[in-house]
Chain A
Amino acid sequence: MQRLQFIAQRVVKGIVVLLGIIILNFLLIRMAPGDPASVMAGEAGAADEVFMSQLRKEFGLDRPLHEQLTIYIKNVVTLDLGFSYRQQRPVADLLLERVPATLLLTGTAFLLSLVVGVLLGILAASRVGQWSDSLVTVIALFFYATPIFWVGLMGILLFSVTLGWLPSFGMYTVGGKLTGAAFALDVLHHLILPAITLALFHMAVYARMTRASMLEMRDQDFVRTAHAKGLREGRIVRIHVLRNAILPVITMAGVKAGYLIGGSIVVETVFAWPGIGRLAFETVMQRDYNLLLGVFILTSFMVIAVNLITDVIYSFVDPRIELGQ
């Protein structure tokens, strides 16, 4: 019951945050010089007063700003995200087309980075000072310091161009007419490079954090007591050290989920992955206001949801933490 109450409170807070994001972004976008009509005129290589005023009238840009904002919020409340000026299609349709690709990419990268990162952290912490610890530290530092786009390009160079093992772009074999398991395997084949590229940076963060956190826990009195009781090393690590050490990693994972979506902009561009990140990048350049705001709403919603889930997971991992307090 307490948990449900907590979730309800957080949902309400989330809606308020989302509303704030909508208003702030709506105003910020319009403060920048230029509008979609300018971009479309630029693309046409020709423009005249008739063309520009036609576009502005059609997009509602000829109305006062407060009126545009009121109309937009009213529409959003009824789940109407409007029409894309540029693509002449409902924003909701355009977003929904891209969500599965982004969820697949970021979800895979999230799990991969968390699982491998934590395992590497445990490995390093349990062998402090040994070569395996040094190796994990060096690898983590390398990927922490290397830009994602460079890792992606080097991956393409090695695995696509030189070795020819993996496709360099796309989500599946276009024109392959694959179905069922063959299609799933094909998607997996295309997913490997982008997911690993996106995961490496975050994996490095989790590995370093797990290692540091575990080393801190290892010196705690209750761990010494466990050793004195004669418990096996594996059990001590799993039950006493890791369970406590993992809490800051979970916190970080919640925060990093937002960064994953940000990172997907780069990875989706490099690997031509048809997701939300790339749509966001293209939309910013085109000043497609409604679509851009739609992307912001969706990504903000995803980050708020992940943070809520993180808080709930907390209470399962450490029953001492009471929700809502």
Chain B
Amino acid sequence: MPTKRFLTPLALAAMLVMMPDAPADAQQPQRGGTLSSIISPEPPTLMIGISQTTPTAIVAGKIYESLLRYSTDLKPMPGLAKSWEVSEDGRTYTFRLHENVKWHDGQPFTAEDVVFTATKYLIEVHPRSRPIMQRAESVTAPDRNTVVFRLKEPFAPFIMAWEPSTAPIVPKHIYDGTNYRNNPANQTPIGTGPFKLQEWVRGSHIHLVRNDEYWQPGKPYLDAIYYRVLPDAGARVVAMETGQTHLSAFADIETFEVPRLKAMPHLELTTKGYEYLAQMVWLDFNLRNPPMNDRRFRQAVYYAMDRDFIRDRIWFGLGKIATGPIHSSIPHYDANVPKYPLDLKKSEQLLDEMGLKRGTDGVRVRVTLDALPYGDIYKRLAEYTKQALARVGIEVTIRTSDVAGWGDRVRNWDYEMTHQVLSQLGHPALGVSRLYITSNIRKGVLFSNVNGYTNPRIDELFSKAAVAVEPAQIQAMYSEIQRILVEDVPVAWLLELEFPTFINKQFRNVVTSGIGVRDNFADVHMVRQ
């Protein structure tokens, strides 16, 4: 009988761990109450399998569930799976499902739904989940409440791929054999979650009501949730200020409004709940073109950027200075890497070494920066970058476009510098390696290795780390990756983003996990005042 060997601290936590969904609040929750939350922009659809936009994930996260959830320190917690085991060779994942779970149409939820979702549905429609599910050699359901995934090779991050937006479980009886994207059921989502769709008045609101047959007895506590579509930033602040809405998240509230709202007695601010996404913003260089193809230039740019200013003046203190490619909230982060503090002398020295001397107009080199079209805050970041680099003689021309135009340029490598922001999805193998490995240099594909960085050692390390089983060995490899990348500066990592979630104090247990407001809200309850 071979001895069971645990894969990583993460897997250790995953194995046989049954974390109860204990509400953080000591007060006995009462049933009743209606939560009114801001949603912006309006979700295109509530079928979370075919749309991975944040608004869809927020609303549909109450309707659909996955096998797991994740704590704020990214430990797996029970979702539709009540327990799970990982075999000693790291290739077999066995999930035991809760019994007596029903879909919103009354049909029973079984292991067959999970098998269908993993082997057919997600592989067809979900670009983020597809490469993960394709790692399975077989997916079987030995009984109604057990699912077994046998992987082609060990892949420790597999346990991190089971939150509702990454792997929503969908009903086989509704989707099997249909066109998943055009199935009429996408308009009337059927999930297993604690809330059901009651009404969607486009442009106005989405009304969810309690699922009385939810599998967790007594939950959810709330009667209903209204998501109010509020496209204007000013209107959103007023709605929170006047109590017309009770919850805002992500970029609903402009950073400069945060200090004012934070001082309001009826509102509570938290920046928790974004750990799984772990979003980071960076300055991206197209390494195919001079002078960006010279490491000294990239280092010079990095030394010229005052990241304290970016955090304190553009994000109003919300965020953490990024030290390298891995976000500090996800596994295998290592702070022991070369540092690039603000140092204009060093920056100029590097540019001099490159032979980029200042001309009579004081300019050494001219570069175009494509501003990230995700809102005003990124316009401010582009303007700051222009000013910061002007101090060392780099003249930046800012080019603006809409999301489609920007995406087209970047994915076709038609840019010099741009800002990017992306989630790391709970593990470097899921959200980080894709940006630096040579095999992911794919023209026409956004969020691939668009800048063209290539380093055989990095390729080897990422590849080995993904399938390794010894925790110390894995950490050593990721530490080396971080050291090499930070020395090479393929991109200049600027800030780990924090988002302000404002919660009206009448409501408790709103953010209880690392997936925050995208979680199912089964534990949210109202306090009688």
Contacts and interface: CB of A to CB of B under 8 A. Distances in A.
A153 B235 CA distance: 8
A163 B514 CA distance: 40
A171 B204 contact: yes
A234 interface: no
A42 B241 contact: no
Nearest to B411: A38
Given A32-B405, A86-B44, A275-B203, A49 B442 contact: yes
A25 B426 CA distance: 43
A221 interface: no
Contact of A48 (B204, B234, B404, B445): B445
B203 A101 contact: yes
Interface string A148-159: 000001001100
B238 A279 contact: no
Interface string A31-68: 01111101111111111111110100010000000000
Contact of A88 (B53, B187, B229, B238): B187
Interface string A275-317: 1001101101111000000000000000000000000000000
B239 interface: yes
Contacts, number: 173
Given A38-B407, A47-B127, A168-B244, A272 B230 contact: yes
Q: Would you call the interface of chain A mostly helix, strand, loop, or mixed?
A: helix
B272 interface: no
Contacts of A174: 36, 204-205, 207, 226, 228
Given A46-B52, A174-B205, A269 B232 contact: yes
A272 to B, nearest CB: 5
B241 A161 contact: yes
A216 B445 CA distance: 65
Contacts of B422: 45
Contact of B404 (A36, A167, A171): A36
B238 A38 contact: no
A160 interface: yes
Interface in B202-243: 202-205, 207, 224, 226, 228-232, 234-235, 238-239, 241-242
A41 B407 CA distance: 9
Given A170-B204, A279-B203, A33 B238 contact: no
Nearest to B440: A48
B242 A44 contact: no
A168 B186 contact: no
Contacts of A275: 203
Contacts of A284: 402
A309 to B, nearest CB: 27
B235 A285 contact: no
A156 B238 contact: yes
Interface string B402-441: 1111111101000000000011000000000000000000
B34 interface: yes
Instruction: From B52, B403, B404, B447, name the one whose CB has the most chain A CB atoms within 10 angstroms.
Output: B404
Interface in B326-368: none
Contacts of B130: 48, 50-51
A160 to B, nearest CB: 6
Contacts of A48: 127, 130-131, 442, 445, 448
A26 interface: no
A161 B238 contact: yes
A101 B229 CA distance: 15
A44 B128 contact: yes
A89 interface: yes
B111 to A, nearest CB: 27
Contact of A34 (B125, B128, B405, B423): B405
B230 A169 contact: yes
B43 to A, nearest CB: 9
18 contacts: A32-B402, A34-B404, A34-B406, A40-B51, A41-B447, A43-B53, A44-B51, A45-B447, A48-B442, A51-B127, A52-B445, A153-B234, A174-B36, A174-B207, A175-B226, A272-B232, A273-B203, A285-B403
Interface of A: 32-36, 38-52, 54, 58, 86-89, 94, 97-98, 101, 153, 156-157, 160-161, 164, 167-171, 174-175, 269-275, 278-279, 281-282, 284-287
Given A272-B204, A282-B41, 10 more contacts: A32-B402, A34-B406, A38-B408, A47-B446, A156-B234, A169-B228, A174-B204, A279-B203, A282-B42, A286-B403
